[in-house]
Amino acid sequence: MAAAGRKEKRALWVIAIPMAILALSCVYPVFFAVNNALKSNRGYILDRFGVVTEPTLDNFVQAWTRSHLSEYFFNSVIVTVGAVTLLLVVSSLAGFALASLRFPYRKFIFVVILASLMIPVQVVLVPFYQTIINLGLLNTHAGLIISYTAFFLPFSVYLMTAFYSGLPRELIEAARIDGAKLLQVWWHVMLPMGKPALITLGILNTLYCWNDVLISLLVLQSDRTLMVGIAALRGEYTTNVPLLSAGIVLAAAPIVIIYVIFQRQIVSGIAVGAVKG
């Protein structure tokens, strides 16, 4: 008995040590950013990896005001909120149609949407950029919102279609007999019932839009979103690491707050769409 217990304990350590190293590798960059954001530039040069001794919030103030991160922050909020709202509405409507309505070429349309999931953004950058110019959407928030919606829509539609396919058809039929028109069925039945999938999608799309640099750099050239602004804090020859760290902490803060609020839904929503029916 005792030998078996010892063996089990040893096996536990064999698993625990690599797991601890993995966890540390995830936590350390967070510690590094927060620790250095609180140091002065001089303090950082003197001791790059040490724990901060004289914490200061100067870097946050400087990043927020002098480096215009406040401006970029609100640009990011506008385009993220706009794009995520549009994505949720459009993907929910499309998912409802593809999963529940009968119309010609329904499967073909779904396959086309799935196929577009497999095209990397980089491949279509040139025609995409040309289209944005032709439509007069360059340097507009609307341009970036539409671009994000276009790029992240295939996955969103796929997820909502899979989710709605799992709901009983009778719910829609009952609503139709009760006198609901198609849009009312969507609003009163499908949208509330799609909440778990919509929350998951909302969080994933918020992450994509908030963290994006490439599309934002192309569409919003005269203005900047937060991530582009932070990337610009890196100099060609030297970088003010504490300032950059403060910018990163400021950028990550809303995402962390969203995660903390919706933690339970994110975990339960991860499996959404994995199993049909």
Partner 1 sequence: MSQIELRNVRKSFGNADVIHGVSLAIEQGEFTVFVGPSGCGKSTLLRMIAGLEEVTDGEIHIGGKDVTDEEPSDRGVAMVFQSYALYPHMTVADNMSFGLRMAHRPKAEIADKVGKAARILQLEELLDRKPGQLSGGQRQRVAIGRAIVRDPQVFLFDEPLSNLDAELRVQMRVEIAKLHQTLGNTMIYVTHDQTEALTLADRIVVLRAGRIEQVGTPLELYDDPDNAFVAGFIGSPRMNFLAASASSGNRLAIGGTEVETPVTFDTGTPLQFGIRPEHLDEETGVTLPLKVEVVEQLGSTAYVHGTLATGETLVAERRRDRPRPGETIELRFDPAKVRLFGEDGQRLR
Query: Binding residue for partner 1 (CB under 8 A) from 29, 55, 136, 168?
Result: 168
- Scanning 140-148, 169-177, 240-248, 260-268 for contacts with partner 1 by CB under 8 A, the matching segment is 169-177
Cβ–Cβ < 8 Å for 60, 37: yes
Q: In angstroms, how far is the first alpha carbon of the chain from the final one?
A: 46
Backbone phi and psi for residue 234, each to the nearest 5 degrees, phi listed first:
-80, 125
**Helix residue ranges, H only, the chain:** 2-37, 41-46, 58-65, 69-100, 106-116, 125-134, 141-165, 169-177, 182-185, 191-193, 195-211, 214-219, 226-232, 241-261, 263-269
HSE-CB of 212 using CA atoms within 13 angstroms = 28
Q: Is 174 in the site for partner 1 (CB under 8 A)?
A: yes
Choose, by CB under 8 A, the member of 65, 184, 221, 268 that binds partner 1: 184
Residue of 66, 106, 188, 276 that binds partner 1 (CB under 8 A): 188
Q: Give me the residue label for tokens 């991530």.
A: 227
Does residue 173 touch partner 1 according to CB under 8 A? yes
- The SS3 of residue 21 is helix
| 175 lies in the site for partner 1, by CB under 8 A | yes
User: At its nearest, how many Å lie between partner 1 and the CB of residue 180?
Assistant: 5
CA dihedral 251, 256, 259, 263 (to 10 degrees): 170
106 binds partner 1 (CB under 8 A): no
- Distance between CA atoms of residues 213 and 226, nearest Å: 9
Residue 92 to residue 86: CA distance in whole angstroms: 10
Q: Per rule CB under 8 A, is residue 171 in the interface with partner 1?
A: yes
Identify which of residues 80 and 200 has a Cβ nearer to partner 1 in the complex: 200
x/- letters, 202..241, toward partner 1 (CB under 8 A) = ----------------------------------------
Residue of 103, 105, 108, 170 that binds partner 1 (CB under 8 A): 170
Mark the segment that binds partner 1 (CB under 8 A) among 35-43, 124-132, 187-195, 264-272. Answer: 187-195
Residues that bind partner 1 (CB under 8 A): 168, 170-171, 173-180, 184, 188-189, 192-193, 195
